[in-house]
Amino acid sequence: MISVNDFKRGVVIKLDGELYSVIEYQHVKPARGAAFVRSKIRHMKKGSVVERTFRGGEKVEDVKIVKRQMQYLYEEGDDLVFMDTESYEQESIPKKAIGDALKFIKEQDMVDIAMYEGEAITVEPPQTVVLKVIYAEPGLKGDTATNVLKPVKVETGAEVRVPLFINEGDMIKINTETGEYQERVKQ
């Protein structure tokens, strides 16, 4: 059992027999009344996000997750196929269970797969990824105001807001947790 006061991003808990991953949490101490924890949790299999409030100090069942590094091979219908690089076993995981991580992984990328009771439940891409810009509007000449961003499309289909000097064909580094541009990478 784990106290809701110990929530961290990525912690997996079991509620009503279902697995959930903590996405966001906030400890609230109102002027009157007891403290509570407001959280957003993602259903591990369905991918749906639920907002849930817990009483301060409430205990929930935590789940021991085993993480294995695997390589993303290809897409097959509504599933993605990954391979364990040590045993060469292949694992199919439904797209909806992967969630937002799908926007930042491409074939041959190494990812961490969280396993529970022998079943793959989530995919965690690396902290940062380098992707090629496949579509970018040209920046307007003379528009040099600070922090002006434009949307671009990267090779995985994700849309990222970047500075005006980024063009098609550029390689950019993206933070996978926030989905934000970090820097341009030299090819």
77 and 31 co-located in one domain = no
Please write the tens of the pLDDT for every residue from 43-99: 877 778 889 999 988 899 888 888 889 999 998 988 889 998 888 988 888 787 677
155 is in which domain, residue-wise?
A: 128-185
Q: What is the pLDDT of residue 153?
A: 94
pLDDT at 42 > cutoff 70: yes
Among 62, 90, 112, identify where a domain stops: 62
Q: Tell me if 26 sits within 8 A of 16, measured CB to CB.
A: no
Which CATH number covers residue 11? Answer: 2.30.30.30
Which of the listed residues 105, 124, 143 is the one where a domain comes to its end? 124
Selection from 166, 85, 156, 94 nearest residue 123 by Cα = 94
For the beta sheet containing 128-136, the strands, ordered from the edge strand earlier in sequence to the opposite edge, are 159-163, 149-154, 128-136, 171-175, 180-185
Q: Does one domain contain both 7 and 58?
A: yes
- In contact, 22 and 39? CB cutoff 8 Å: yes
Greater confidence, 115 or 74?
74
pLDDT digits (tens, 9 = 90+) for 130-145: 999 999 888 666 666 6
Q: How many domains does the chain have?
A: 3
Which CATH number characterizes residue 137's domain?
2.40.50.140
